[in-house]
Structure 1
Amino acid sequence: MMFWYDHGVSGWGWFAMSAGMILFWALIITVAVLLFRALNRPTQHTRTPAEDILRERLARGEIDEDEYRRRLNALHAGPLTKP
Structure 2
Amino acid sequence: MTDGTTRVFTWEEGARIEVRNLGGEIVIEANAAGLKTLAGHLLTLAQDGTPDGAHLHLEEGNGLEEGSVGLVLERCEDE
Q: Which TM-score bucket, shorter chain as reference? A: under 0.3
Which structure's residues are more often strand, by fraction? Answer: 2
Greater relative CO (CA pairs within 8 A, separation 6+): 2
Q: Which has the higher helix share?
A: 1
Normalised by the length of structure 2, the TM-score is 0.24
TM-score (norm 1): 0.23
